[in-house]
Every structure is written in C-alpha cells, then in structure tokens.
Structure 1
Amino acid sequence: MPLADEVLADLLQRGERALLRHSARVNPVNFSDKNSPYWQQDYEQRQQCHARLAAAERAGAVQLGWAKQGGADRPLEQVRLLDANKLASFLGITTRSEAAQQARDILDAWLARDHRVTELLGAWVALKSPRGLGMESASDFADALRVLDALKQIDGADQIVRVFSRGLFRDTKRIETLSRHIDLLTAEQLTSPARQQEEVFSALGLVKEPQPFLVAGTGSLMLSGSQDCRIAQPFIGVSNQHITGYSGAPSWVLSIENLTTFHQASQHPDAESGLILYTGGMPSPSWCRACAHILETIPKQVPVYHWGDIDQGGFRIAAHLRNACIQRHSFHPWLMDAQRLPQALLSETTEAARSNMARNAWDAGWEELSQRMLARTIEQEGIPVSLPVAGISPR
C-alpha cells in the first residue's frame, strides 16, 4: 500500500476510535521524526505522496500542514483528520458506523429474540472481532441463525448435516463452513473458548451419519411398538428415537464419553451389575431424550455416574447431561477427579482452561470437585477401566 494511503487509513482508524470514546479529539499523523517512512522516500515518491494527500484535502477529508520553509519543495509536517465519512468515501471504503449499520440490517430479524446477536453487534461497534469474525461476516451469521431456526422447527430427530445443508442452502457443505459462527452463537458466552465442530454439531443434533444408541450391562430396552430388546453381551445398538424406556434392576448407571472406553467397559466383569451408556462425545438431543426415557423407568435411588475426559470438553458434556437428562437421580463424576489419579498420567493446562473446567463441573452439580479442580487434563482412554460397585463412593 502506498505511504499516503497508509497514512489516510491510519487517520480513519484513529477517527473511528475517537468516536468510540465519544471524543472529537483525533491526533494528527506527524512527520517530524527523521526516521519516519515519509523521509525514507525519494524525491519522486514524496511528490506522489503529496499529490495523493492533497487530493484527500481537496475532498474535505484532511488538512495538510506544510513546513514554513523550503519553497515549492517544502516538506509535509502533518496530516490532520477533518471528516471521517469524507475520508472513507475518498478511500472507497465504508466507515465502521456504516458497516455496523449494514450488519445490523442483515441481522435485524434476530435482534429482538437472540441476545447473542445483540452482544455480537456490540462487540463489532467496539472494534472487536470475536474469534476473528468481524462485521464482514454478518451474512454468514445470518445463515448460521437460519440453521438454528430450522433445527427448532423439526421434531428433534438427528439430522444428517450434509442432507440438511442441501435442503436449506442447496449446498451440501454450507453448514460445515458455518461451524465457527454456529459455535459462537450457541456458546455459553461470547468469549467462551472455541469448541470442535463435532461437539458443536452433535449438541444440536447435526450428525455425519445416523448413530446407534449403544448400551451395555443388564436389563432390556423398551422400544416403540411395545418391543422389548434384551441387552445382549457385550452390548447392543438401537435407534435413539425408538427408545421409550427400560426394564431391569441395575445397581448403577454410567455414561461414557469415548467409544474405546465404552468397548472396554462393556467387557468388564462388573458390567452386568449396572447399565453403561455411550454418549458419542457430546450427546445429541435425540440421545438425551432416549437417556431421559431410560432414567424415568429406573428407581431414583440408583446412582447415575458420568465418565469423560478430564478437560474442558469432558466437563461441558457432563454439564449438558445434567441439564438435559438428569431429573430425579443423584449425578456423580466417575474417575474425573485429577487429584485421585497418578500425577504422572496428567498433562498441565492453563488457568483459563482450569477455570472453564471448574465452572462446568459446578454446572454438572459437582460443587466439591469444582472447588478443588486442578489445572491438569487427561483423556479417559489413558485411565485403566474400573466400574462402580455397590456401596462405592463417587469419584
């Protein structure tokens, strides 16, 4: 970019920041320092720079301050902003206020009913771009909001993401390009850390392909049409949407985040004394309904445990399960307390990650664990498999 345009763009940014501060004071760009890029130009470059800046002055955008000596070749000492809108017009760009209004117009249909849209617009006006997504992405956010609206209109059955995308946008991959936008719109806070696409989509019921509900242990699943499906060894898989209840007498219920650990747990000698459910990572709405139907038919004194990764995602899943599935039962962590694991197995994490883990543990109802949360992580596959037994304390 030529120096003159760099100077003008810098002045425009200063003007917009001044408006944000509700101030009329905008510091000029000065060339008094002999190390300034202005003085690094040769004679011809400086003349071209002068001509460009003089054109901006004639447009009423800036005021030029010239040295008192030097005759026709006198140097330029400073450039002062007069009118940000005229300067933006001269440069062929829109001002922040104009861009913000354009973004507001694009997202207007959601302003009154989605507080996150209001937060997003506020961040843009404050010259912030959450997750690197600025005002230029307003149309993408509108498409992301259309996805969320469409999901609210269906019966909650899992949707194959590319089929669903084709139906909405005539583009099988459009929704996948909006994963960052959908994440931001559905996150706990505008400043929440980014989540993996699979976690974001699964929580909404968007899946790559239909996933069976995997269950191991004792008893039988009750299915629609008055079907009774005995849980064979080591496990069975059925459609989420066909589960209506459960028949059996488990001593405990354990949900497991990861498939490898579920397979190992399903073959554990103690598996037949309880009921083991594979969440498939972040469980979908249809999975949560199936789980709730199962728990409705299990006595409330039977404890429910969750075993997931000791990391931000693992505790988010636990909080989601507590909110979506747990009504009458006590809900406990299983092998998710880093203090009770060999420290050599654990990896250090940041204080921000620890804080997020603690907050989600609290939301899961695990107040004691939340208060003593360590800044340590481990994936559950790195922990030897053990299962609850009668009378064991939660851990």
Structure 2
Amino acid sequence: MKHISFGDAGKLLANLLDRYEAKPGVAALFGYANEAAFSSVEARDRFIETLRKAEKLGAVKLEKARASADTALRIRLVDVDILYRHLGRVPSHHQVHTLLTDFYELPNLPETAREVLDEIGAAWSRNVRKFGIMPNDTASLKDVLLLARGLQERASDPAAVAIDFRSFCRSVNTGSKALDHLASSVVAIHSRLYPGQRTPESLDTDEALATFGVSRMPQPLQLSGPIAIDGVILPTLSYYGFPPDQAATIGLSHAVDYVLTIENYTSFIRHARECNGSQKGLVLYTAGFPARSHLRQITRLCREAGTACYHWGDLDAGGVRIFRHIEKALQAQGVQLQPHLMDAAILTQYGVAAVGRSPLPPQGASGSAIEHLWCALRETGLVLEQESLSPRLPG
C-alpha cells in the first residue's frame, strides 16, 4: 500500500480529517512523515513538535512504522473531535448542514426535495460531489433547483412553447448561462424531484431537455403539405416553417393520403421536394427528438388528418427512442404510428457495423411497431443513417 507522507505537519493533520470526512467508517487512519522533505534537522524538529502538541491533547499518536526509512514515523488518528478543536476546524457535516438549511425552506418544491437535499448533504459531508454539483457549491445548487422547478412548470403548462437555453434561464431568475454549465445536473435532479415526469434514462441531456421544449436554439415547426392558417389556404411551397408559439394556427386545407414524421433535416427536405410535390401528404420535421410543443402539434395534426401515420428516422438506438416517444404520444390520442423505411430487411441490406454508437436500451420496444427493427439492431450490430436512403412514399 502506498503511504501518504508529508513534510508539513499542519497539512498532515488536515489530511487526516479530509480522509475521515471522505470515509468516516474507516477503522484507522494514518499519515506518515516524509523524511526526504525536511531541509534540515531543525525543520524535522519543528515538524515533530507540532505533532507532539496534537498528541499531548489526545488527537493523534506518533508511532514507529514498519516501512522504508523515508516513512519511518507514522501518525495515527486517535480522536477526531479533539483534532477538529485543535485545528479550529468545523466538521464538514456541520458546515454542510448550515449551508443547506435554507434550501429545505425553498418555496414551491415537492416533498421529494427533502430526500434529494439529504443525499446532497451526505455526499458533501464526505467532500464528494452529488448530481454533478461540487461540495459546498450552493450557488449552483440553487440554480439547479430553480431550473428543475422551471422544467416542471413547463411540463404542467399545455400552452408552453419552445424556448432557448438563455431565455429559459432568465425566466426562472438564474444567470443566462446557468443551463449551459448545469444541464446534466438539472435533468438528474428534476427526475428525482418529479418522478412522474421522469424522462427515459436512454435519452442524453439535450434530448431530455428537448422534451420540455428547452433547447439551445428552438427549431421552427417545419412541415410540407396542403397548409392553411386559421382557415386561410397558403400557396403551394415545398415546405413551410412556423414559429413554435404560433403553430397551433396550422391546419390542413384538404385531406391527405398519409402523415409522415421525419427525424433528420436532409431527409425531410428531400422527401418534401422529391415525393410531396402533389401535396398529397403531410410531412413533419421532428428535429431529432421533438420538443413537447412540437410534439403537441404533431399529435394534433395526426389526429385531425385521420389517415395512416408513419415515422422515418435513423436505424439505430436513437432512432428507436424517437420512434417510441412519438408512438406513445400518438397512442394516447388513439392514433397508431407505423415505421417507414425502418425495418430489418433494409438494415440487413444497407446497414454498417455500429462503431461508437450508444447501445440500445435493454427493454422498451416490446409490443411496439418498431420491435422487429429493435431486435434486428440487437442481433446484427448494424446501424444505418436515414440519409443513406432515398425518400419514397409510405404505404
């Protein structure tokens, strides 16, 4: 075992407390004198004198170690409370309790906040980060709690529209760049505070935030087809883009043969131009994982169209997650979603070996229309980006 040795007695004693706080259950803690660190006999004498004072109080005990010559002197922690008093140091759990007291009284947080704060306190007392927040960083903790509460308010507001990171931060009274630095902590704590709104664990941080309509720069709702705004028929264009907060005014000017949601931008543009010139389909760009405000309009338009609905995305773990997310939202509205150009045969014919891709979730596709692709991805180890395929009409 490598010994922790010091030429500074004060640092040695402080290190004993640091290690005690990190692992309070350890039976015995030792520090060692680094004989090579002493510049003179007098320097070593001062080192020993400092330790003898602590030993006389009963805080530590100096022992002769069974070690190499440069670590012959061993210092054993005897009474941690005495050492705290001797060094004038407040135990970390007392400091943390003082730091977190006001957080337990923050308004508009659920009962689950107490358990979360208890876990943070226990970790900080051991000088360990929790939920990605460094020990004693109360400024970041406050921002994370405010941002997590802001996400929940958006989840509860059916009128919430897509918003960018900076604007969202300002809306909950944090610094405008807080979410840039704390995004993963916000998602982690939100899922603990509000388990009923927990996002799937398979989503990465940006995907999870996007489900609340929070993204680095919100995408317009882009679609192709026979569109009317508040009943006013628009001229025929390959595709349109609408501000998210005005997308509720979008409707169909006439019936369509199909609705197709598309994950990636290039494939959306190609399908709109190459396959939908006749305006017989309603084609919607999801921008990857759709924001809640976008998904709300997608489900509305699919329901109002009253025709077959399809989704086309990447043939990989992310594509499966996106399909399942949209599928579940449509099922809640009584609409069935079918995969388009997303099947085992296409994967086998055109797929390439997955390299550095995120693994498939171990479960979640059972009973889904995407189950056969999900199984093929697991069995073959192949993936395929949808841009590798030319667009074609569904059905």
Q: What TM-score, normalized to structure 2?
A: 0.73
Question: Aligned AA for 2:212?
Answer: L
Q: Aligned-pair RMSD on alpha carbons?
A: 4.1
SS in 2 for 1:329: coil
Q: What pairs up with 1:232-381 in 2 under 5 angstroms?
A: 232-240=236-244, 241-244=246-249, 245-269=251-275, 272-299=279-306, 302-326=307-331, 327-336=333-342, 340-341=346-347, 342=349, 345-349=352-356, 353-356=358-361, 358-359=362-363, 361=365, 366-374=370-378, 375-381=381-387
Contact 1:14 1:26 in 2 (8 A): no
Contact 1:311 1:378 in 2 (8 A): yes
Question: Aligned AA for 1:47?
Answer: D
Cα gap change, 1:321 to 1:363, in 2 (>3 Å) = farther
Q: Which residue of 2 aligns with 1:71?
A: none
Q: Distance in 2 between matches of 1:376 and 1:183?
A: 30
Cα gap change, 1:51 to 1:282, in 2 (>3 Å) = farther
SS in 1 for 2:211: helix
Q: Distance in 2 between matches of 1:89 and 1:239?
A: 64
SS in 2 for 1:184: helix
Q: Distance in 2 between matches of 1:58 and 1:321?
A: 70
Aligned residues: 364
Q: Which residue of 2 aligns with 1:125?
A: 122
Contact 2:7 2:37 in 1 (8 A): no
Cα gap change, 1:303 to 1:117, in 2 (>3 Å) = farther
Q: Distance in 2 between matches of 1:328 and 1:174?
A: 39
Alignment equivalent of 2:221, drawn from 213, 216, 222: 213
SS in 2 for 1:237: strand
Question: Aligned AA for 2:34?
Answer: Y
Q: What pairs up with 1:17-32 in 2 under 5 angstroms?
A: 19=24, 23=25, 26-29=27-30, 31=32
Offset of residue 270 of structure 1? 5.7
Offset of residue 209 of structure 1? 5.2
Offset of residue 161 of structure 1? 3.6
Matched, 1:149 2:155: no
Q: Which residue of 2 aligns with 1:203?
A: 211
Contact 1:116 1:185 in 2 (8 A): no
Cα gap change, 1:111 to 1:236, in 2 (>3 Å) = closer
Identity of paired residues, percent? 22
SS in 2 for 1:79: strand
Offset of residue 287 of structure 1? 1.1
Matched, 1:80 2:77: yes
Q: Distance in 1 between matches of 2:82 and 2:160?
A: 48
**Runs of at least 4 residues of structure 1 off by over 6 A?**
188-191
Cα gap change, 1:117 to 1:354, in 2 (>3 Å) = farther
Q: What TM-score, normalized to structure 1?
A: 0.73
Contact 1:56 1:90 in 2 (8 A): no
Offset of residue 294 of structure 1? 0.7
Offset of residue 286 of structure 1? 1.8
Q: Distance in 2 between matches of 1:306 and 1:247?
A: 22
Offset of residue 113 of structure 1? 1.6
Offset of residue 229 of structure 1? 3.6
Q: Which runs of 5+ in 2 are unaligned?
A: 1-5, 66-70
Q: Which runs of 5+ in 1 are unaligned?
A: 32-36, 69-73, 391-395
SS in 1 for 2:359: helix
Q: Distance in 2 between matches of 1:316 and 1:59?
A: 62
